[in-house]
Amino acid sequence: MITASSEIRVRYAETDAMGIAYHGNYLAWFEVARVALLDKLGLPYKALDDAGFLLPVLEVGIRYIASARFDDKLTITASMSEQPRVRIHIDYTIHLGDQLITTGHTLHAFMNRTGQAIKPPLFVQQRFAAAFAK
């Protein structure tokens, strides 16, 4: 399993009139950890994007266990439990200190700039293989 974590601090911009973080913003937080995970794999998303390989989201699921509030320091963890073939499945947890407040997942495909679904390019497959061979 490949795992990476990021710390974020909840912005006032991310709260809503319930006084908690708006549920839609968690997907941007998942993204923060996913970017860190790709960095760790030696596949920075910026470089993929610049090379014309996009990773659109096909599916998301989120379970909200407890709320997050303004200024909370959260730990977002992204993990891949299996070596991706065509699609990439990533699982997430969000912790506030020791408390698990959210779980979720995203599913991604590889796409080129013209919007066509493609297989992961060879250098990406090799990185995945190397990471899961450890």
- Which residues would be at the binding site for a copy of itself (CB under 8 A)? 9, 11-20, 22-28, 31-32, 35, 44-46, 49, 54, 56-64, 67, 69-71, 115
Task: State the minimum distance, in angstroms, from the CB of residue 76 to a copy of itself.
Answer: 12
Residues in the chain, how many? 134
Write down the least CB distance from residue 90 to a copy of itself, Å: 13
Tell me whether residue 1 or residue 115 sits nearer to a copy of itself (CB atom).
115
Query: Dihedral (C-alpha) 115, 104, 132, 75: value to the nearest 10 degrees?
Result: 110
Instruction: State the nearest-atom distance from the C-beta of 20 to a copy of itself, in Å.
Output: 7
Whichever of 118 and 132 has its CB closer to a copy of itself, that residue is 118
Three-state DSSP at 66 gives: coil
C-alpha–C-alpha distance, residues 51 and 124, integer Å: 12
Residues 102, 33: Cα–Cα separation, whole Å: 13
Taking the C-alpha atoms of residue 134 and residue 83, their distance in angstroms, rounded to an integer, is 12
Minimum CB separation of residue 53 from a copy of itself in Å reads 11
